[in-house]
Chain A
Amino acid sequence: MAVVHATEGVVIAGHFGFAAGVKARAPAVPLWALMLASQWLDVVFVPLLLAGVERFDAVPGANPNAYGGAIIYADYTHSLVGALVLSAIFGAVAAIRYGKHAGWVLGLVVMSHWVLDVPMHRADMPILPGNAGGLPRLGFGLWRSPAASAILELAFVVVGAAMYWRAALNVAGADAAMVRRARFCGVAVLASGLLTLALNVAGM
């Protein structure tokens, strides 16, 4: 249950929205890989949480299951250097299959997770893995205002879905069946983002 709870209060939909926007700019990179890349730090976080290497604490007085209600000590996956290493590994593996350009794009999308998390987290993101050296932890703490955090994530979802939708229609060309397919994909991206955000904000 700890895994379920720990992944409920984190940024989820916003990362997916960002990945959808990237697809519009890098259409040759598979969407599924962009989506997976956008969550890679959290995917790796799960087994480390199970192993007790990383952990999360409830914000004093808050429900730890609430949206943004936890202080997350993901000291390896969400450290600046750790995120860079995970990004490089993901990008390098992707480059073998999809080429150097896709590898760079996917590696940068993995790193975007860390960049987008910094404004949200409550100064719990270390610079070095394991918080070596005791350097100041990063995070601007937008989660102190769940409403503002949700609005920011919503903006990423809507803008990313809109960029994806437009690119999908462009690539569909004049073929009516393909246009219908592109619209369906656009709806699916937007609906998935809104559903994920709604469940996350509801603490589910």
Chain B
Amino acid sequence: MSFILGLLLFVVVVGILDARLPWPSSTRPRAS
């Protein structure tokens, strides 16, 4: 359960939350 829960939490939940932060992007030009 810890492995599957860990994947769900980190890859899906935290991944979605983190994507809302203004990190520089490898695929899009940075906003000016």
Contact = CB atoms under 8 A, between A and B. Distances in A.
Interface of A: 4, 7-8, 10, 12-13, 16, 19, 23, 27-32, 35-36, 39, 42-43, 97-99, 101-102, 168, 171-173, 178, 181-182, 184-185, 188-189, 192, 195-197, 199-200, 204
Interface of A is mostly: helix
A196 B19 contact: no
B32 interface: no
Given A30-B19, A178-B21, A184-B17, A196 B2 contact: yes
Interface string B1-19: 1111111011111111111
Contact of A12 (B2, B21, B25, B26): B2
Given A32-B12, A172-B22, A192 B17 contact: no
B27 A99 contact: yes
Given A35-B11, A192-B10, A195-B5, 16 more contacts: A7-B2, A10-B3, A12-B6, A28-B24, A30-B26, A31-B19, A32-B10, A32-B11, A32-B15, A35-B7, A36-B11, A178-B21, A192-B13, A192-B14, A197-B2, A204-B1
Contacts of A172: 21-22
B1 to A, nearest CB: 5
Contact of B20 (A43, A102, A173, A181): A181
A32 B1 contact: no
Contact of A4 (B1, B19, B26): B1
